[in-house]
Amino acid sequence: MVANRFPVMRLVRSAAGVGLLLAVASSGRASQPVASAAKGKHDAAQRSNAWGSLRGKIVFRGTVPALPPLVRKGDPKATDAKVCAAHDVPDESLVVDPKLRGVRNVFVYLRRKPAKMHPDLSRPPAKGIVFDQKHCRFLPHALAVRVGQPVLLKSSDSVLHNTNIVGHKNVLLAAGGGPESFTFKEPSLVPVPVQCNFHPWMKAWMMAFDHPYFAVTGKTGEFRIEKLPPGKMQFRFWQERAGYVNSADGKLKKGILEVTIQPGKTTEVTIALDAKSLQLDKKAN
């Protein structure tokens, strides 16, 4: 009634109403990013708390055997001696850190693809991994990749090599050749040998996985596998001299270790190997 009688008042009232609506709307919009950032942080925290890690070390017990080099420096009989015998080519079938006794190049991996994978790791990395040939050795000696992840084959040597990923790809690389991209199409059952048939001592190993839960032990024998789903799971340990490793401490049988991964926690393991578990009395594979 009052409004009808005083049109100015009606105008003021509707303007105030619109203003109020705008204020509410804008205040809501302004607070939205803050709320979503907080929610994102909360989700991330939830996510990281929902997953666990496995950290470990593989050590060698007993006297570390001294393996003679595959090619001695200066050996005139070596093929392409100028390049291949410019340095000693070490026997990398067993690499033990002299101080820390860590065993290098052991493949450690979740035996089966889990039902649940961390969302950050659901896809294989698009970035390729370089697999080089330098001083007539493969670098790295042991390489673990995801199915579909590019491996960039190259040669830094001034002599010709082939990269023979047995049963998968066999390509010739000219001096300084590559990179030639290669991807595994399916997971490997065991590590695949890689050879250069022109220099028969050259050998390496590659293994492809359909999940992200794998590692290769580094110089100190350590490994870390992160963002694992919680629960009881089986990890497998493979070393080129022994295949599936039976450890000296009895923790590994046929290379299998059962571990319970706890959410938000890191499970730690130490595995001891010795001459018997690595079958050092036998000739290298």
Partner 1 sequence: MRQRNLAGAAAVLLTGFLAGMFAASSRGPVAASAQTARAGKTAAVSISTQEFQKLKSDAAKAKNAAGDQAHAMTSVAYHFNNLWFAGEHGNWPLAQFYFGETRSHLRWAVRIIPVRKDAQGREVKLTEILKSVENTPLKQVEEAIKAQDRTRFAKAYAFTLQSCYACHKTVAKPYLRLRIPTQPSEHLIDFDPPQEAHATAK
Return the range that interacts with partner 1 (CB under 8 A); candidates 95-103, 144-152, 192-200, 241-249. 192-200
110 binds partner 1 (CB under 8 A): no
Binding residue for partner 1, selected from 201, 241, 262, 266, defined by CB under 8 A: 201
Binding residue for partner 1, selected from 133, 195, 247, 277, defined by CB under 8 A: 195
185 binds partner 1 (CB under 8 A): no
Smallest gap from residue 124 Cβ to partner 1 (A): 25
199 binds partner 1 (CB under 8 A): yes
Which positions from 75 to 104 touch partner 1 by CB under 8 A, shown as an x/- string?
A: x-xxxx------------------------
Return the range that interacts with partner 1 (CB under 8 A); candidates 24-32, 163-171, 209-217, 267-275. 163-171
Give the start-end residues of each E strand in 20-68: 52-60
Binding residue for partner 1, selected from 3, 11, 20, 174, defined by CB under 8 A: 174
Residue type, 28: G
| Residue (of 182, 96, 84) closest to 133 by Cα position | 84
Binding residue for partner 1, selected from 105, 133, 149, 164, defined by CB under 8 A: 164
Give the start-end residues of each E strand in the chain: 52-60, 107-110, 129-134, 137-139, 142-146, 151-153, 161-165, 169-173, 180-182, 192-195, 203-209, 214-216, 222-228, 231-239, 243-244, 256-261, 266-273
Strand partners, 89: 71
160 binds partner 1 (CB under 8 A): yes
Cis peptide before 98 (omega within 30 of 0): no
For 192, list phi and psi in degrees, rounded to 5.
-95, 130
244 binds partner 1 (CB under 8 A): no
Tokens representing 169 are: 């790809």
Strand partners, 137: 134
Strand partners, 47: none
Q: What distance lies between CA 275 and its chain's CA centroid?
A: 27
159 binds partner 1 (CB under 8 A): yes
200 binds partner 1 (CB under 8 A): yes
283 binds partner 1 (CB under 8 A): no
Which residues of this protein are in contact with partner 1, per CB under 8 A?
75, 77-80, 159-160, 162, 164, 169-174, 195, 197-201
